[in-house]
A and B are shown apart, each in its own frame.
Chain A
Amino acid sequence: MPAHHRALLKSHCFKCHNADKQKGRIRLDDLPFTVTDAQTAERWQKILNALNSGEMPPQDEKPLADAEKTDLLDDLANTMVAARRLLADQKGAITMRRLNRREYQNTIRELLGVEIPVGELPSDTGSGNYDTVGANLFMSANQFEQYLALGRKALDAAFARALAATEERYWRYETEAISEKVAKVVEDQIDAKARAERWVQKVEEAAARPENSEIVAKLRAEVNNHEGRFRRLWKRIPGAPSPESFGFQTKENNADKANRALASYWLPYHQYYLEQPGIDTGMYLALPTEHPSQLENGAISFLLPWSFPSGVKWPAGNYLIRVRAALTGQGTPDRRFIEFGVNPRGNQSLSVHEVTGTMESPQTIEIPFFFGDAGAERADRTLYIREKGTHDHYLVTRLLAKEGAKQMEIGQGRPYAIWVDWLEIERVSDADRTVPPGLAALGDLPLDDEIKKPAVPALERVRTSFERFAKEAFRGREPGTKFIDGLIRKYQTRLSAGDHPVAAFKDCLAIVLSSPMFLYLAEPNLETKPRPLSDLELATRLSYFLWGAPPDLELRQLAANGELARPNVLTAQTKRLLDDPRSRGFSDAFTYQWLGLHRLDFFQVNLLKHRRFDNATKLAARDEIYETVAFLLRENQSIANLIRSDFAVINGVLAEYYRIPGVSGDQFRRVPLPTGSPRGGLLGMAAISLMGGNGEETSPVERGAWVLRKLLNDPPPPAPANIPQIARLAGKVLTTGERLQAHQDEAQCASCHRRIDPIGLGLENFDAVGTWRTQNTYVVKDDNGRPIPGEERTWTIDPAGQLHNGPKFKNYFELRNILASKEEEFARGITEGLIEYALGRPVGFSDEAFITVVVARTKQKNFAFREFVHAVVSSREFHTK
């Protein structure tokens, strides 16, 4: 705590809180200004709380001057953050940890060659630390049982995949079947309408009979002369025929069916469809019209077959979906993407694809798809193709229909943008796949638990399989005889209970996958002082750092030969691991946590307000962050590109969204930016803008705090409790800047917000979904969220400002330049993150020297991304337990 604040305490506090007088049993005159123990920290915390809540100084005492109070609070809050960190310093101790959720999934994948859904397990993120920090990775009874069940599931999937390794399947779905359905619906609608008209005529004839006039008048009055509802009462009109006699046969009151058939609202649009070319060989992705059970032509849903046409089940494994499609030329240029996904009821697709083919020369799009569970239920094997953004929300679909109708001569529907010729599903043979080590360990034991009258393998062979499998699962550690004995006992119990030997075998292997040696990354050390890692431990640490997965054979062999720790070998291996596609297990996982991307899922984007930011665009925007980081890592470019760069890593969807011309295709790639583009760097990414708001409006406070935390490595203290809320501005028509100005009027607010708000306001040109804007509007809303007419104001955004005690900026570009000039702070932030992530423990004050070394070393290489990794991997800390 800076010493100059002592004068302030002396003049305002000591009178009541001194050696003789201790009001509220608080004494302040002997309070140390250096916080080195928890007791002192608690005493300072009380002061902070009392000042923040306004409790102190009391009403009848002289108040603190605003400027002094602001500075005091600023320093005190930051002192407390530093003190807490100091007191929590583990001094380099690394707690043993279990595999976190993603590592568990990756480890199963490496061991057994199958990716299983792990959504049931706790996510292990969100504790404020990285998901590798052992102290935060807990275990529970529930979770143990989940591991047991998930392990069994993974084994089922792996065995099934191995049994079906060489199976090839193929099915083509000709989409003109949908055109035929449209034709059939048109036919039916015309027929039903005619029948309904005939029925109506007969009912009216009956109603017109003079002898019925009394009852008809009564009935008409009952339904307020509503024609449709009048006809529902046909039974009470003597001589009126039943709707059933005109073919309307359902369980409901069939008059409803007949009444509806009279209208046949979508008939013109359906007829229009039939006039299009190419419907005899394909179909058009249309607007959804009828209930999907009647007619589904807004999307193509197709089942991954159960056992059709061969009668043999389609196995799990790698599949390719091919779509032959074309642009019709009738849609606007932005309408050139299709979404692919599983389960049409969901609104988040798996991938988005650009269609570039033409009607003359259609194109075939190939989409890889991993089908994990051969027994998946119908919904989970129903795949779909649909036009991007047409199925995100029913209100959006309704708007599309409204807008589309204006472009149509028939006054309804929407022009067709995309034509689809056919779809193919192909299972790709696993014949070329390296047998995953877990399965290789089993030798040639039978894997099929559906075989009747199975051969029971000799117990010795089973035992050997258990031993090898366990050693593989335990990443090279010996499982121990007693453990294997236990498995054998269990196996025999199950056999004598009449279980199928393969099923009993799998049950036992599932126990291996729920055992601590599999679930925990242990580095035993009975000594109180640190010890160097063994080579095998180093291999494990390295591969979980750079892959989030277990060491492969090469790493394990180098470790076994005692070569891995040699600097040149380690550097080469680090490079090899980073070059491997599995390094996405590092870059994606690290990026998600480092930048706090969980916030992307905090809220639903208001799709009616932000029409262009549909779900598919959000998916691409999220990927942009991952792809950019992966690009920098792959190309070993400077991390400073994340603050400002003259390129963006985008694909066709995002180029369309950012309105950057000349980019086509689904692959993310480096695209040079036109001069003056606000893109290039994290702040120009739509997903980052989205996180700094609520999906509808921006939050300059959220954005400013994020920049301080992530780019400047100067995190504001956590939001304090009990600060009086500013309520006086509710319902007033103010600009965002005017509203935030109120923060500066209260010392409790200003102490942090003077740092936060100017940065956030400097980013106001990005709206809540990252679109560039120059104006903003505020509308006062009533209690029900409805805008109050007239209570509205529009203004030109003024991003100009000044960093607290720092340089001024006129606009976003100048602000970005200022941030870019602070690349060393940014490098420090990423270094701290990498250390915590790699070592699995929080970074503390005792790491100062370590951090400084890494930053200095990477600075010489212009902060090239891989230098950070090499610096961490070669550090003494990385080699020490």
Chain B
Amino acid sequence: MKHRRHFLKSSTALIGLPVLNSLGFRRFASAAEPTTPPKRLVFLGFGWGITEETWYPDIKTPGPDYGLPAGLKPLARHKKDFSIVQGLWNQYSVEGHAGSTWWLSGANKFAQPGQSMHNTISADQVAAEQLGLHTRFSSLQLNTSESGEAAGHGPGLSMAWDRNGKPVAGLNDPVAAYHKLFSNDATPIEEQKGRLAEKRSVLDTVLENARSLQRGLGKDDNEKLNEYFQSIRDIETRLSKEEKWIGVPRPGAPIKEPRGGVEGKGSVALMYDLLVAAFQTDSTRVITYRQPGGGEFLNSIGVDVHPHDMSHYVTTKGEKLAASQKRDLTNSTLLAGLIDKLKATKEADGSSLFDHIALTYGSNIRSGHHLSNCPTLLTGGGAGIKLGENIVLPQNTPLCNVWLTMLHGVGVPAERHGDSTGVLNQIRA
């Protein structure tokens, strides 16, 4: 242990420390008082696409003066504050039943021959690596969807995929999510620290080996080996972040504990409330939410069509079409409510959460098994996105260009993302 402490002392790593003498609850969870309200990134995914005839504005009326189609009518009061972007796709997406798995990564499922599943990092996790430095949670993954198969999301545990292309677990229960955000860990602090110590002992052992190797190395080789030391230091930093936050009380909850056992539409409303509360307390700056869209959701809005058939309304129309449209209306209504709350929640400087958020609402699936012109709605003032317009891009513009533009917009200077070819000036204000 002595080695490690000595090692840590000499490290240059910066660990964001929580500020305890807070003025109000909102900074309980964040590391330092930001000079301006921080930028935040949200991705909401809804699996089986939309009803294309009644959700997309007419591509012949690009710009601000477009007629709001029926599926978006509930959003009418926010029309100036969101844009629909058309012409986007992920060129490698091949799964007609996966609206979310590759949505935020743009990866090629079959990039590895002989392997059944490949993915790469999702855009939210790219942002979390930077925006997550000073909050208790680097990012939050919410997920109240039925199974990925039933709701058209495809494989995954949430919308998020880590740097190795592995699925990031999601919080499935609004009650559990509430407690994670606002209830203090009852595990004895010593036990929490014991778990961290176990991880550190591994680091100590390899460091011992690194020091043996270091003996006799010349200057250049030493610099090379320093990368190894730095890697271990980075892990130390992360463990230290966990450790530092162990004793820090969570902020008081701005909302009351949600009811348990709520499914479908009700769970969306609860998770939207939690999303606003998490931002309000600066517990995190990056959230994804895998929304329900399968049987539970349809039942909760009084529809008994099989969800997959609903998305294949084109062949027969009838009640499948009606179900699909009702689903759209419900989702648009819920989203409009979320935007209301984001606008109503004030930051310290008098601006609103909405002004600093970059929110994407969409899916990799259009409808049926169609994976082009992915439905994409952008809102919030956080990423400098042009709002209030029907933006029609050239057909098959990489969706990853939107992600790249969003990342840049919230101050994450990624060089590229997925198959991106550059930022999209057409969607910037």
Q: Which chain A residues have a beta carbon within 8 Å of chain B's beta carbons?
A: 93, 95-98, 117, 119-120, 134-135, 138-146, 148, 228-229, 232, 251-253, 256, 341-343, 345-348, 350, 377, 379-380, 479-480, 482-483, 486-487, 489-490, 493, 511, 514-517, 519-520, 522-528, 783-785
Contacts and interface: CB of A to CB of B under 8 A. Distances in A.
B113 A515 contact: no
A219 B66 CA distance: 35
A489 B224 CA distance: 29
B212 A480 contact: yes
A511 B220 contact: no
A487 B209 CA distance: 11
Interface string B210-246: 1011011110110011011011111100100000000
Per CB-CB distance, the 6 closest pairs between chain A and chain B, nearest first, are A524-B216, A486-B205, A141-B234, A379-B116, A96-B221, A515-B209
Contact of A343 (B116, B164, B201, B202): B116
B205 A524 contact: no
Nearest to B194: A497
A347 B110 CA distance: 8
A526 B212 contact: no
B227 A522 contact: no
B12 interface: no
B286 to A, nearest CB: 18
B114 A525 contact: no
Contacts of A345: 110, 116
Interface residues of B, number: 48
Contact of B206 (A98, A342, A511): A511
A656 to B, nearest CB: 22
A145 B232 CA distance: 9
B215 A524 contact: yes
B224 A479 contact: no
B177 to A, nearest CB: 26
Contacts of A135: 224
Contact of A784 (B202, B210, B309, B395): B395
B158 to A, nearest CB: 19
Contact of B205 (A483, A519, A520): A483
Nearest to A512: B209
B206 A515 contact: yes
Contact of A141 (B213, B235, B394): B235
7 contacts: A96-B217, A138-B227, A141-B233, A143-B231, A487-B205, A493-B198, A524-B215
A93 B220 contact: yes
Contacts of B238: 141
Interface in B153-204: 163-165, 198, 201-202, 204
Contact of B218 (A97, A138, A524): A524
A16 B317 CA distance: 75
Contacts of B227: 138-140
B400 to A, nearest CB: 16
Contacts of A519: 228
Nearest to A494: B198
A291 to B, nearest CB: 12
B210 to A, nearest CB: 5
B118 interface: yes
Nearest to B113: A348
A96 B225 contact: yes
A95 B210 contact: no
Contact of A482 (B115, B208, B394): B208
A256 B320 CA distance: 12
A773 to B, nearest CB: 28
Contacts of A140: 227, 231, 234
A504 to B, nearest CB: 12
Nearest to B308: A252
Nearest to A134: B224
B316 interface: yes
A677 to B, nearest CB: 31
A515 B204 CA distance: 11
B232 A253 contact: no
A789 B235 CA distance: 61
B261 interface: no
Nearest to A507: B202
Contacts of B21: none
A456 B153 CA distance: 47
B112 interface: yes
Given A96-B225, A119-B115, A253-B319, 11 more contacts: A139-B227, A140-B231, A142-B163, A253-B316, A343-B115, A380-B116, A486-B204, A486-B208, A522-B221, A524-B216, A784-B395
A350 B316 CA distance: 40
Given A95-B224, A144-B231, A522 B217 contact: yes
For A520, A523, A784, the residue with the greatest tally of chain B CB atoms inside 10 Å of its CB is A520
B307 to A, nearest CB: 10
A397 to B, nearest CB: 14
A139 B316 contact: no
Contacts of B309: 252
B318 interface: yes
Given A140-B234, A483-B212, A520 B114 contact: no
Given A119-B112, A346-B113, A525-B216, A515 B210 contact: yes
